[in-house]
Structure 1
Amino acid sequence: MYSNPRNAAHHYANVGLETGVVAASPHQLIIMLYEGAELAVRMAIRHINDGDLEKKSAAITKASTIILEGLRAALDLQQGGEIAQQLGALYDYMNQRLLLAHVKNETAPLEEVLGLLQELHGAWQQISTPARPASLPAHHSIAA
């Protein structure tokens, strides 16, 4: 579904988020992008509530960059098929909501984006950890 998570990691590092990127797996990189986007949206909400328009703008820009140049850019539309296309459309929608929040100085669109990011983040965490059947002891593994 994602073409090059390392490329996404490059964007992650470029927007000033903490890096542990080099040693991270592709799944961990996507999780880090979700975490960074969520944090940026939370900060934008806080800055709107505090009346700090400059910091609000920076936080919304950071969230938008992570979503578009990190998460969306990492999608592999050919191999990911319809799911990747739907995710791409959802990321575009999130960006539109971020822009609306920026222009109108409202938190409701940001809260919506935060909810979407949290839902996707949770889903990604579920698929990133291979499940082990309950009947197998912890020291056994299943060959793929």
Structure 2
Amino acid sequence: MFSMPQSFGGHRPRTNAYADIGASTATDDASPHKLIGLLYSTVLSDIHTARGAIRRGDMPAKARAISRAVRIVDEGLAGVLDMPRGGEIAERLAALYDYLVRRLTIANLHNDEAALAECAGLVDTMKDGWEGIAAQVHAGAQAAPATDAG
């Protein structure tokens, strides 16, 4: 259903060096399943950051957080869907990701906390579901025979 992108992200300012180290440590040995879970967590964090920024009147911070969330949904989640193999599930996820991008964009344009709350609820539900299938994914990975000795 998912395929991993060749690269994701762009140049980050040096002020995020410690955050980059933490993110790198969390993703170095992560399975594709865990990486998707981390993307869901990051989108949720960005949405919460945007909501706080709206409350503080910090529009640049709101715009940065929502822009990052949109990019993760669009490139990191929707962009790795394997449509030919994912079938109906991939199609439904693609439609949901498209909806999220549109709602996040509206929230950004109109400082709409209700739209952000709706998006957070949807992402939280997807994250919970994704975490709920972790045992099945892990069991399937262990059951699959190794095809590459390195």
Q: TM-score range by the shorter chain?
A: 0.7 to 0.9
Match of 2:97 among 74, 91, 96: 91
Match of residue 83 from structure 2: 77
The one-letter code sitting in structure 1 at the alignment partner of 2:66 is I
Match of 1:66 among 56, 67, 72: 72
Match of 1:11 among 5, 8, 16: 8
String of CA shifts for 1:82-134, please: whole Å, max 9, x gaps: 11011001001001001111111110101101000000000000112239xxx
Match of residue 117 from structure 2: 111
Match of residue 26 from structure 1: 32
Q: Higher helix proportion, which one?
A: 2
Kindly tell me: are residues 14 and 38 of structure 1, through their superposed partners in 2, closer, same or farther at Cα, counting changes over 3 Å?
farther
TM-score by length of 2: 0.80
CA–CA separation in structure 1 for the residues paired with 2:86 and 2:105: 27
String of CA shifts for 1:20-70, please: whole Å, max 9, x gaps: 222100110000000010100010011001110000000000100110010
CA–CA separation in structure 2 for the residues paired with 1:12 and 1:37: 14
Partner of 1:73, secondary structure, is helix
CA contact (8 A) 1:12 1:70 kept: no
**Deviates further, 108-117 or 14-23:** 14-23
Equivalences, count: 132
Gaps of 5+ in 2: 145-150
The one-letter code sitting in structure 1 at the alignment partner of 2:87 is G
Identity within the alignment, % = 37
What is the deviation of 1:13?
A: 7.7
